[in-house]
Amino acid sequence: MTEEQIDVDIVDREQREPREQTSHDDSSPCSRSDFTAENIENKLFVDIVNPIHTPPLYPPEITIKRSCYLSHSDWFKINNKLMKPGVYWHGIKHHKDGEAEDIDEWICSPLYIEAIASSPQDDNFGRLLRFLDTNGRWHEWAMPMHLLKSNGDELRGELLNQGVTFNPKKRYSINDYIMSQHVARRITAVDHIGWYHDTFVLPNQVIGDDNVIFQSEAILENEFQTKGTLAGWQQEIGKLCEGNIPLIVSISTALAGPLLKFIDRRQGSGIHWVGDSSSGKSTSVEIAASIWGSPEFIRSWSTTANGLEGIAATRNDTCLILDEIDEASPYEIGKITYMLANGQGKQRAGKVGNARKIQRWRIFTLSTGERTLQSIMNEIGRKPNAGQLVRLLNVPVSFEYGAFSNLHGFESGRLLADHLKAMRLKHYGHVGPAFIHKLMEDKRDFSKLLDKLVQAFTKKSNTNLEKRAATVFATVGLAGELAIEYGLLPLQPESSLQATLTAFQRYLVFNDASQSEDGQILQAISEFIAKFGDSRFSLHNGPEEKSIPNRAGWYLDNLEGRVYMFFPVALKEAASGFERSRIVEALQRAKWLISDINRAAKKTRTPAGMKYLYHIFEPEQS
């Protein structure tokens, strides 16, 4: 905006020049004013004339071809009568005496129908609306047509929420106005955020095909808003991530979601920062949230699996950030962890018995807390299985200054954290969309790039669980390295790779053998013996064979210690959730199983005849 334009538009009712644009266009119901929030800087907007409230000095006199609806973006005159901006019904009223009278009824504030939207399957029809709010800012919203059903209360409620005002006596005319408008432009309505073919859809912008639009029952712009500049984010936030592993890994995780499409992965995963209060873990995820949008991008663990379905769907192909796992319900957290990584919600029935569309997503999750998934589930006597553990990888935040190793000249970690939190309120929402633009231009095979990185991680991996975790960290590292290469993250090359390698090493140390699949199996059998060793087992070939209800097997004392002989069904009961072959594999690897050469179970004489039993050393003695 030039200084001359600002001089003209600054509020001065006595000196204002007349506006050049007329207030309507008879040739199209979708006329626009050049005086929009999109054409000026937000910081100047409070000083600019708001056409909703302030008429020009010389509003244009217009002629209407009646009867019709018209939307006017600015003040105008009809027969020298001053009319405020908005949608009008310009009609003719015929009196009993035969005379006709022109009527001009104000319906609502300026509202235009820009295009007709429909899904690729030619359903889910809608209208692209463009409207002026009370503060003089323009909005766009792809409105589903089903909101016009009944009396249109749902539609009017959302418009009111977004700053549209209307004449209560003419509120039903809004439906009539929208239905009566016929526009030539046709666009594709997409009901999900994220990738749609080669286009990336966000609530507030579409990267790629201009004829694709996000359509929803409510406007979701708040969480994906932008503020400040990319350069400002790089200078005030990005540079301060150098040398600080949790910050680099969190930012890289936030960027990993869009990569899942290119590496052909439907399921995501997550990283959980574990640390004491005030360790800086929340600062790490706040910085990650600034990649995509405002502070509202972060959500809390204090919810149910059903409640998180909708939130996860709005983060598709980006990143779901959940703060304070300690607030999660121990009864829900295991189910939530599975659901988020698996990428889909429940199948539900519609009002008429038909199946509703399943909500789907493909995301990486970032989480924080003072405790782990395991400790929370242990509250109610449950244990997470390996599938849940690999979907939320625990990494401790215990560096020199909490989450920081490099203070960049600040006197303490607290001061650095305070600076980062202040800056993330000034600059956000730029890096994510810029990363999408660069990904679209990059024609390399990302699967091959990932395979090369995975090799650096799997060198330190022993179990299948660790190898799966290695792929997660490698994907995060690749996203960060690409962002550095694209010039979006102001870090040295390989900073993200080294940070994720360090995080992976810390994950391996923190998640000891008791949290691996083998560890879970051995721990489960040990606990089964401790609980039922005397009640469901008896001495093999004892002088008086006991009659034991729900027998699990027998025990035998020898020079090496006590051996428990399990029925196959009891062995599977003891390590519930694992296949018998997997249980045997863990027992053999730990050298807990005494077996024949060609068979894991030994043929054993019992009072009930010859049986194949699994002979296991008492874990405390092995």
Three-class secondary structure assignment of 446-488: HHHHHHHHHHHHHCCCCCHHHHHHHHHHHHHHHHHHHHHHCCC
Beta-bridge mates of residue 187? 117
**DSSP secondary structure, 313-373, as one string:** HTTTTSEEEEE-GGGS-TTTHHHHHHHHHHTB----B-TTSPBPPPPB---EEEEEESS-H
Burial degree of 486 (CB within 10 A; 0-12, 13-18, 19+)? middle
Could you tell me the CA-to-CA distances from 443 to 135, 337, 435, 436, 463 in Å, in that order? 43, 33, 14, 13, 34
Beta-bridge mates of residue 100? 94
User: 3-class DSSP state for residue 185?
Assistant: coil
| 160 vs 133: CA distance, rounded Å | 9
Q: Does the pLDDT value for residue 32 go beyond 70?
A: no
Q: Does the pLDDT value for residue 15 go beyond 60?
A: no
Q: What pLDDT was estimated at residue 607?
A: 84
| 55 vs 8: CA distance, rounded Å | 14
Q: What pLDDT was estimated at residue 351?
A: 56
Three-class secondary structure assignment of 268-292: CEEEEEECCCCCCHHHHHHHHHCCC
Average pLDDT over residues 402-410: 95
| 81 vs 90: CA distance, rounded Å | 14
Cβ 133 vs Cβ 53: under 8 Å:
no
Residue of 391 and 489 predicted with greater confidence = 489
Beta-bridge mates of residue 564? 555, 616
User: 3-class DSSP state for residue 53?
Assistant: coil
Lowest-confidence range among 28-32, 59-63, 536-540, 582-586? 28-32
Q: What pLDDT was estimated at residue 35?
A: 36
What is the per-residue pLDDT across 309-338, written as a single tens digit (0 to 9) for each?
989 999 999 999 999 998 988 888 988 988
Q: What pLDDT was estimated at residue 6?
A: 31
Spell out the residues 6+ positions from residue 499 whose beta carbon is closer than 8 angstroms to its own: 245, 248, 249, 252, 477, 480
Amino acid at 521: I
| 100 vs 612: CA distance, rounded Å | 102
Q: Take residue 218 and report the two structure tokens written for it.
A: 């409510």
Report the range out of 142-151, 325-334, 438-447 with the highest average pLDDT: 438-447
Count of beta carbons in the 10 Å neighbourhood of residue 217: 15
What is the per-residue pLDDT across 127-138, written as a single tens digit (0 to 9) for each?
999 999 999 999
Count of beta carbons in the 10 Å neighbourhood of residue 490: 18
Q: Does the pLDDT value for residue 165 go beyond 90?
A: yes
Average pLDDT over residues 527-546: 82
Q: What pLDDT was estimated at residue 158?
A: 93
pLDDT band of residue 49 (cuts 50, 70, 90) is low
Across all residues in the chain, what is the average pLDDT?
86
Beta pairing class for 298-300 and 319-323: parallel
What is the per-residue pLDDT across 559-591, written as a single tens digit (0 to 9) for each?
778 899 999 999 999 988 788 998 999 999 888
What is the per-residue pLDDT across 470-500, written as a single tens digit (0 to 9) for each?
999 999 999 999 999 999 999 999 999 999 9
Q: Does the pLDDT value for residue 42 go beyond 80?
A: no
Q: What pLDDT was estimated at residue 12?
A: 34
Count of beta carbons in the 10 Å neighbourhood of residue 404: 28
| 600 vs 539: CA distance, rounded Å | 21
Q: What pLDDT was estimated at residue 28?
A: 36
What is the per-residue pLDDT across 73-111, written as a single tens digit (0 to 9) for each?
999 999 999 999 999 999 999 998 889 999 999 999 999
| 60 vs 63: CA distance, rounded Å | 10
Q: Does the pLDDT value for residue 455 go beyond 60?
A: yes
Q: What is the dihedral of CA 50, 55, 59, 62, to 10 degrees?
A: 80
Spell out the residues 6+ positions from residue 184 whose beta carbon is closer than 8 angstroms to its own: none
Residue of 586 and 544 predicted with greater confidence = 586
Residue of 568 and 266 predicted with greater confidence = 568
Q: What pLDDT was estimated at residue 43?
A: 39
DSSP letter at 39?
Answer: G
pLDDT band of residue 221 (cuts 50, 70, 90) is low
Average pLDDT over residues 392-404: 91
- Residue with tokens 């087992």, as numbered in its chain: 537
pTM of the model: 0.73
Long-range contacts of range 383-386, CB-CB < 8 Å, 24 or more positions apart?
383/520, 383/524, 384/334, 384/337, 385/520, 385/577, 385/578, 386/465, 386/516, 386/517, 386/520
Q: What pLDDT was estimated at residue 382?
A: 76
Closest CA to 288 of 230, 231, 232, 237: 237
Average pLDDT over residues 440-458: 93
| 115 vs 118: CA distance, rounded Å | 10
pLDDT band of residue 527 (cuts 50, 70, 90) is confident
Q: What is the dihedral of CA 405, 409, 415, 417, to 10 degrees?
A: -50
